[in-house]
């Protein structure tokens, strides 16, 4: 009997210990250093010029989105360009990647491992049945005990799987140690206010937290934690370090309630994190709930005076700015309107979570096109007025102008642009999952380059470089 008692005592101790399982906590920030940590300004160019500035955004959509993004990166690798007299690949000029959900896997893998993406990412992620592996983890006896803890959940199992089998246990310190571009922006959604939350040190400064030791896999897990299927990723919000000072951009924005309401609300929501007493924790879910194509992060970098794109534009360093939006949005055949019986709870929940974000994604792309047109029109107007001034008042002082006449391109890769109706129907009806057949993965990889080749905006972008 003593043997049985020993066995049951061991089981009881294991159960108690597992019930105390806790998700990994983000580290506090011991000292505020606005030029240190994983930020755009901390990365070297290494031949990647600022004059040609290329940002990519990868949408949500599970393996479908990850495979489409992979195909686009492969196309950029295979596209030779000549810029400022130097021959290179277009991929070598990618400066930043902002990603959401499924697209975050491809973005993070490329940012960490660069060329390895093209040798092993298909086997390490795209062609794996991640959903099946997650189920095996979920029903493992050891994990069943761990899941009894209120501080350890399904998303933590997913993050562990990604950490060990996809991202080689890399942290943001490893990204910073690489020191080169592209700058990676992984986006999640703060459940408390629905705001976009990005895994950069600029964002973590508001949490009084050091991003460096945080696993990249957990950021990817937060970005892809779709509601109902996975639970949130949680972060601790610490009081800011004693030497912390609020950047002027946010102080000025708080004065903009009447003149720039969008900027005011953005600053107010960021500053709210500084009250760690009232908000000691954050709970993050799929970034698609706030922005399913990752473009809002780029818009922010373009609009805000402290945004890295805006600062380079103001300094006259960017001559050509290209935004490439890889949108794996689908549009399954609509059947709800064909039946008399109202849809069930699961269908209503799914449609509620996806309809608004699809509409929001469309408007975000159009917003960036509006910003593109505004800049180009402003440049033309100033140029025309200056010519008129020189004709009417020769010798007068010149008008204030932009440092550089910037060419801007907004390029979108979207299944809706597929010309063949049968093929378009196939892609628009692919499921959002982390398990796709290998032939579907291959088709997704192949269609990305095809869509770029037929994009008139992409072709204009390539032609502009040949004119340099």
pLDDT digits (tens, 9 = 90+) for 101-151: 999 999 999 999 999 999 999 999 999 999 999 999 988 998 988 999 999
Distance CA 278, CA 326 (A): 38
pLDDT at 365: 78
pLDDT at 17: 47
pTM score of the predicted model: 0.91
Each residue's pLDDT tens digit, 290-322: 899 999 999 999 999 889 999 999 999 999 999
Instruction: Please identify every stretch of the chain with a pLDDT value under 50, giving residue numbers as ranges.
Output: 1, 6-18
Q: Tell me the pairing of strands 86-89 and 94-100.
A: unpaired
**Residues comprising the chain, all counted:** 468
Q: Would you put residue 435 in left (φ > 0), alpha (ψ -120 to 50) or beta?
A: beta
Distance CA 159, CA 144 (A): 16
Residues whose CB falls within 8 Å of the CB of residue 447, separated by 6 or more in sequence, listed in order: 68, 71, 415, 418, 423, 427
């Amino acid at each position: 009997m003593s043997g049985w008692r020993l066995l049951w005592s061991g089981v009881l101790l294991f159960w108690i210990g597992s019930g105390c399982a806790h998700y990994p906590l983000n580290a506090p920030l011991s000292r505020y250093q606005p030029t240190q940590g994983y930020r755009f300004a901390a990365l070297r160019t290494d031949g990647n010029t600022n004059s040609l500035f290329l940002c990519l955004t990868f949408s949500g959509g599970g393996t479908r989105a990850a495979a489409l993004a992979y195909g686009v990166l492969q196309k950029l690798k295979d596209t030779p360009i000549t810029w400022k007299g130097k021959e290179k690949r277009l991929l070598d000029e990618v400066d930043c990647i902002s990603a959401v959900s499924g697209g975050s896997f491809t973005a993070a893998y490329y940012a960490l491992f660069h060329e390895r993406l093209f040798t092993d990412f298909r086997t390490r992620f795209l062609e794996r049945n991640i959903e099946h592996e997650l189920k095996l983890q979920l029903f493992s006896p050891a994990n069943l005990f761990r899941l009894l803890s209120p501080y350890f959940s399904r998303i933590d199992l997913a993050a562990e799987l990604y950490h060990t089998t996809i991202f080689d246990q890399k942290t943001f310190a490893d990204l910073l140690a690489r020191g080169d571009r592209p700058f990676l922006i992984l986006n999640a959604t703060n459940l408390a206010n629905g705001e976009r939350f990005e895994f950069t040190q600029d964002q973590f400064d508001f949490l009084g937290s050091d991003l460096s030791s945080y696993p990249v896999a957990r950021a990817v897990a937060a970005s892809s934690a779709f509601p109902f299927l996975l639970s949130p990723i949680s972060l601790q919000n610490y009081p800011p370090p004693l030497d912390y000072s609020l950047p002027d951009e946010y102080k000025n924005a708080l004065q903009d309630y009447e003149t720039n309401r969008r900027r005011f609300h953005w600053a107010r929501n960021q500053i709210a994190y500084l009250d760690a007493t009232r908000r000691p924790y954050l709970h993050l879910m799929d970034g698609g709930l706030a922005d399913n194509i990752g473009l809002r992060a780029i818009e922010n970098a373009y609009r805000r005076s402290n945004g890295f794109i805006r600062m380079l534009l103001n300094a006259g360093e960017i001559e050509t700015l290209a935004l490439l939006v890889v949108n794996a949005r689908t549009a399954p055949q609509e059947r709800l309107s064909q039946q008399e019986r109202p849809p069930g709870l699961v269908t209503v929940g799914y449609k509620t979570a996806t309809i608004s974000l699809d509409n929001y994604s469309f408007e975000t792309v159009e917003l960036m096109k509006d910003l593109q047109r505004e800049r180009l029109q402003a440049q033309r107007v100033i140029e025309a007025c200056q010519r008129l001034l020189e004709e009417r008042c020769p010798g007068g002082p010149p008008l204030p102008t932009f440092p550089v006449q910037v060419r801007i391109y907004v390029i979108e890769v979207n299944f809706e642009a597929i010309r063949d109706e049968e093929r378009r129907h196939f892609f628009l009806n692919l499921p959002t999952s982390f398990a796709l057949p290998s032939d579907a993965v291959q088709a997704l990889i192949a269609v990305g380059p095809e869509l770029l080749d037929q994009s008139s905006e992409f072709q204009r972008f390539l032609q502009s470089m040949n004119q340099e």
